[in-house]
Amino acid sequence: MPATIVLGAQWGDEGKGKLVDQLASEADWVVRFQGGSNAGHTIVIGERKLAFHHLPSGITYSHCNLVLGAGMVIDPWKLEDELDRWFEFGGERPEGERLFISERAHVTLPYHRILDGADKEIGTTGRGIGPTYGDAIERVGIRFVDISNVLSDGGRIEQIVNRMNGRLSAAGLDSSITVDTLRADLEWISDRFGAAVRPTGLLVHHALERGENILLEGAQGALLDIAQGTYPFVTSSVTSRANATHGAGIHPGHVERTIGVVKAYTTRVGHGPFPAELHDEVGNHLGTVGHEFGTTTGRPRRCGWLDIVPLRHAMRINGFDEVVLTKLDVLGGLEKLEIVVGYRVDDAEIHEFPADLSMLERAEPVTLTLPGFESLDLGDWLKVAREAQATGRGYDVLPEAAQTYIQTVEQLLGVPVSSVGVGPDREASIERRA
């Protein structure tokens, strides 16, 4: 059975969690392959809103096995908090039963969070993600499989503590780590999560051999990729399709379907150039109606028109077979809609996304204008989605101008829009008519 990958095609926050939640109803395994507690997936079930950071969105289905993959950096304290909240909601303790942590995943420790807090330039979440990945690259990090060996070697613990304190001092921070606190932290992690630590790459491989359905869930988005994003205003991992199987511990030949999730407009959190950004009533409309606040940080997201230029870049890197367009309902009530189709930089017009951030900072958007469509409340949008599901009419249930918008996106990207989201509820989606 082939695997399916779900990826964000913009700067994250596209609505991947809702899509994975929908697809997970037919999946046997959902695997997170990169990132850590800086991710934020929100799922709405009726009146209840669930926010996940480490946990794959498939947790809402009891039949679905969950993997925190080798490409992740995992904060055990944040994971503990998330599991406690899940227990309050679902009455389940999945760790070691259907939730498994890769033995190769790296551990985010309090030291990493303290060091990350010194960042003032990039606008990170402060969750310790960059420093943990940095330790992994420098080959001085601690993986879950390493914890018992570190605990049994007093000299190694002391060496680690000296290195950590040296880094904190060099960063101008007063905090320090002791041998006793590090030992206590590692002992707690081992006791709390030891039963869930497994060779997850093998588990997923064997599941594929049995013909089971695997869903690989990405965090962040294509434009936050450490190599292909708007560096240095990026996350610290590879967010693209190329890392999906690698971070999960299987080979890329298993993948048959790659879905790019695209918000019907564009948002980003934190610093960095954003040519499509709007500082006007439309930008306020998108932020207010779309409830654009970061799931992880609570920071307001910067908003702008849908930008095809970086999406074309994301398409080239990831080779999406289809696109899921989310939050189409948020555009309702705007008299006209615009789509950015190019940039004017100095005296030239460009249509490919530049690596040079100074060019992006000078870029003026070139837009295509389309008619707007009426605004509906969330209850009415949900009724529209249910009508589409009941009648099989697909996009025909939408206002004509909304259909035109979808068709234009398809033409500009060159791939089909397989479904559109018209609200946060897991049922508020309309699939393309077959």
CA gyration radius, the chain: 22
Which residues contact residue 412 at a Cβ distance below 8 angstroms, ignoring those fewer than 6 apart? 308, 339, 341
Exactly one of 41, 54, 112, 254 is catalytic; name it.
41
In the chain, the amino acid numbered 163 is: R
Is residue 75 among the annotated active site residues?
no
| Nearest-angstrom CA–CA distance, 183 and 194 | 15
- Neighbouring C-beta atoms of residue 257, cutoff 10 Å: 15
Which residues contact residue 93 at a Cβ distance below 8 angstroms, ignoring those fewer than 6 apart? 83, 87
Q: Look up residue 159 and give its two tokens.
A: 């060496």
Beta strands at 429-431 and 106-107: parallel, antiparallel or unpaired = unpaired
| Nearest-angstrom CA–CA distance, 251 and 255 | 8
Estimate to the nearest angstrom the gap between the alpha carbon of 128 and the chain centroid.
16
| Burial grade of 273 (CB within 10 A; 0-12, 13-18, 19 or more) | middle
Q: Note the helical H segments in 125-268.
A: 129-138, 147-151, 154-170, 179-193, 200-209, 241-248
Which residues contact residue 124 at a Cβ distance below 8 angstroms, ignoring those fewer than 6 apart? 38, 116, 130, 270
Do residues 57 and 45 touch, judged by C-beta distance below 8 A?
no
Do residues 191 and 144 touch, judged by C-beta distance below 8 A?
no
**3-state DSSP percent of the chain in helix, strand and coil, to 5:** 40, 20, 35
Is residue 377 among the annotated active site residues?
no
Q: How far is CA 124 from CA 189, 235, 238, 299, in A?
A: 25, 8, 16, 11
Which residues contact residue 252 at a Cβ distance below 8 angstroms, ignoring those fewer than 6 apart? 242, 244, 245, 246
Exactly one of 13, 21, 116, 425 is catalytic; name it.
13
Query: Half-sphere exposure (CA, 13 Å, Cβ side) for 313?
Result: 22
Phi, psi (rounded to 5 degrees) for 268: -150, 155
Positions marked active-site: 13, 41
